[in-house]
Structure 1
Amino acid sequence: MNWHHSCTITNNTLPDNPIVFVSEGFAKMTGYTREEICGQNCRFLQGKYTDSETVKRVSDHLKKGKSVSVQILNYRKDGHPFWNVFVILPIHDAKGKVPAFIAIQKNITKIKLSQPLADWIWVHTSLWLELIGKSIYSQIFIHNKIDGRRLVNMTADELVSLGTSRDDATYIVQEIHSLVQRENKVLTRTVKTRSLDSLGITQSSDKV
């Protein structure tokens, strides 16, 4: 199983609906061992910036024995956040009751970060820092709520004033420029393709 995909099974006949089965993928995705996970309720992955409304939606569906699918900000054992999309399905017995649930999860952090920079909130920028190896500054970005619109205009001096080292500030600015360039290339290709399509011109990859 690809570690980006994982599953768990919970026992709904026990108090607090604890996890009783953990796939290797789930353990790798979260950083916890199977022994640490089993017996826990799935909310143990929640953290400071997990959306409470999303949590309530999941809880309400489980209480009614219904399936539910959401995207939610979870946290690994090392404290690093990640975007998790999961679907929870009820397992019915012969009497129609729900003694268990099965949940299938996928880490979609990179997919979230492929969204336009203008749509990034501060959670996205802090996750991006982790991807470029500068997660030590995630809390600075979170505390100052640096979103995508602010990120693209940041200078090395501003980053230093927020608490980064000069070398790291220079590196982060370089990565910001690379990020903007990649997005501009994607936008240019999209506009070009749409323009050709509107003229009824079909692009071909075949070389003459």
Structure 2
Amino acid sequence: MLQNDKQNNNTRHNNEIAPLIYAALDASSAGIIITDNRLPDNPIIYNNKAFERITGYTSDEIIGHNCRFLQAGERKQETREAIREAIDNGIGITVEIRNYKKDGDLFWNELSISPLKNDDGEITHFIGVQNDISLRKNAEEKLMFERLQVEKKINERTENLRLNEEYFNSIIQTIRESLVVLDPDLNVLTVNESFLRTFKVTPSDTVGKQLFDLGNRQWDIDGLRILLETILPTNNPVLDFEVEHDFPHIGKKTMLLNAHRIELEGDYKDRILLAIEDVTDRRSIEKRKDDFLSIASHELKTPLTAIKGYIQLIRRLMPDDNKKLNDVVQKSVSQIERLDKLIVELLDVSKIQSGNLDIHHKNFDFDQMVRDTIEHVQFNSDDHTISLKGSTGVVYNGDETHLSQVVGNLVSNAIKYSPSQKQVHVYLSRLKGHIKFSITDSGVGIEQKDQKKVFDRFYRVGAVKEKFAGMGMGLYICEQIIKQHQGMIWVESELGEGSTFSFTLPIKEQQ
């Protein structure tokens, strides 16, 4: 009786202490993360507010990743090997390492890693504490640089001061896109020849005038005002801001606007460069292509359905002992299924582009859905074995059909792109407010420069498309489905060493 009371008191004590611990961690000015050493790839399962502030990433973008994602493409730092050895040996370590924020900015991180053990002495977690020491490192590097390179710095500054109006204008005129140079009050200082040709104006119609007053105020465009009066003053460059406008003399134009505020010396201090790319024809071609895909996929569906019916009739009528005919029919069925899948993907792409991809939310057993999908893929693949480890234990509220499509696509790709290997590995886990799915193969791998593009529509890696059939739609559809569920999907890969595709889905409170 006394022992039970003691255990109950300990439980209540722990329940009271846990919120205080998390509050203390969130109050820390140092970035803190906790990783789960029992799960594949040691994923992050907790981060405090300071870690989000230092790195610029939100918790949804952090959870489920390995800490190395902060090194971006810089994977050859010697410090990484020291960290890897410390983790393998289960010991603590403090290092200084170059990391990158979400916006790409470099920062120096003083990282301390400590192992956490359970009662059996097993290392279950690692805790990482990081401090941004960029100011100190920058000061050290700046002092060293200035001490060794004073004369060079003076010469470079002197060279920069030689910038003059003729040189400045020559650069502007060589740019093929339409370019406008504005002063801080948005008065036009100069435009290039491309702008004059595209919008059918003369220098006297533009130079010296307020941008929004040009051509009887035909440049008084809401989207352009937002760009120049709201976004740009925050000192952030504006990239690929799309605006559509119907001009009186040249018709409707779709434009990509890029704006940068620059500060030069002397007379050219504080200028705004506005680049205007006319993408009207490109958007028109894309729309025609999307319309064609939509129409073609719908039109192909009807005869394919009829062919399916004929094949089924043939299978019922043909004799069982005609092996050759049976083989031909079976191959026909396989090709029809392949064509049917292609048409479904075309229809999905068409729906996504038109904003009509229907996502139906209902509760379902996430783990069972994954098992059923893997079983179906395994049934059609005799050469590979699909292993499944872990579980989430979550009844998820989402579109089971579409998420099964994502899982099936990732598993099929892992098999397809690792023909010489015989096994792929699927991992399920539940993290802080998320469920995570990962699949690892030992196939051809993907180069770093291609990893962000593999989720683009119709994009296929050059070396892969020469060896493997496909249209580059599957991963694009997967990403769109995961985004519709407020999740994230990504890939980690080394060329020739295989790939790991992962996605996380947030768990709603009621789940």
TM-score, normalised to structure 1's length?
Answer: 0.59
In the alignment, is residue 74 of structure 1 matched against residue 90 of structure 2?
Answer: no
Q: What residue number does 1:149 align with?
A: 149
Equivalent residue for 2:130, pick from 83, 99, 105: 105
- The alpha-carbon deviation at position 42 of structure 1 amounts to 0.2
In the alignment, is residue 115 of structure 1 matched against residue 140 of structure 2?
Answer: yes
Q: What residue number does 2:418 align with?
A: none
Q: Which has the higher strand share?
A: 2
Q: Which runs of 4+ in 1 moved over 6 A?
A: none
Cα distance in 2, alignment partners of residues 51 and 117 from structure 1: 24
Cα distance in 1, alignment partners of residues 100 and 161 from structure 2: 25
Judged with a 3 Å threshold, the aligned counterparts in structure 2 of structure 1 residues 6 and 160 are, in CA distance, closer, same or farther, namely farther
> 1:156·1:170 contact (CA, 8 Å) conserved in 2?
no
- The alpha-carbon deviation at position 40 of structure 1 amounts to 0.4
> 1:51·1:73 contact (CA, 8 Å) conserved in 2?
no
Q: What residue number does 2:265 align with?
A: 170
- The alpha-carbon deviation at position 159 of structure 1 amounts to 8.2
Unaligned segments of structure 2, at least 5 residues? 1-26, 169-261, 267-511
Equivalent residue for 2:85, pick from 60, 81, 106: 60
> 1:73·1:84 contact (CA, 8 Å) conserved in 2?
yes
- The alpha-carbon deviation at position 6 of structure 1 amounts to 1.1
If you compute each CA radius of gyration, which structure gives the higher value, 1 or 2? 2
CA shift digits 1:26-72 (9 cap, x unpaired): 01110110111010000000034465211111011101111111111
Judged with a 3 Å threshold, the aligned counterparts in structure 2 of structure 1 residues 46 and 160 are, in CA distance, closer, same or farther, namely farther
Cα distance in 2, alignment partners of residues 160 and 59 from structure 1: 50
Cα distance in 1, alignment partners of residues 103 and 162 from structure 2: 26
Q: State the identity as a percent.
A: 32
Judged with a 3 Å threshold, the aligned counterparts in structure 2 of structure 1 residues 35 and 148 are, in CA distance, closer, same or farther, namely farther
Could you say what the CA RMSD is over the residues aligned between the two structures, in angstroms? Answer: 2.9
Cα distance in 2, alignment partners of residues 38 and 117 from structure 1: 35
In the alignment, is residue 86 of structure 1 matched against residue 86 of structure 2?
Answer: no
Instruction: Determine which structure has greater relative contact order: mean sequence separation of CA pairs < 8 Å that are 6+ residues apart, divided by chain length.
Output: 1
Aligned residue identity for 1:157? E
Cα distance in 2, alignment partners of residues 71 and 83 from structure 1: 7
Cα distance in 2, alignment partners of residues 14 and 48 from structure 1: 24
Unaligned segments of structure 1, at least 5 residues? 126-146, 172-208
The residue matched to 1:13 in structure 2 has which SS? coil
In the alignment, is residue 46 of structure 1 matched against residue 71 of structure 2?
Answer: yes
Judged with a 3 Å threshold, the aligned counterparts in structure 2 of structure 1 residues 157 and 80 are, in CA distance, closer, same or farther, namely same
Aligned residue identity for 1:77? K
The residue matched to 1:29 in structure 2 has which SS? helix
Cα distance in 2, alignment partners of residues 148 and 48 from structure 1: 30
Q: How many residues align?
A: 141
TM-score, normalised to structure 2's length?
Answer: 0.25
- The alpha-carbon deviation at position 75 of structure 1 amounts to 0.3
CA shift digits 1:85-109 (9 cap, x unpaired): 0100000111111100001000011
CA shift digits 1:126-166 (9 cap, x unpaired): xxxxxxxxxxxxxxxxxxxxx972674331524888xxx8x
Equivalent residue for 2:60, pick from 35, 48, 51: 35
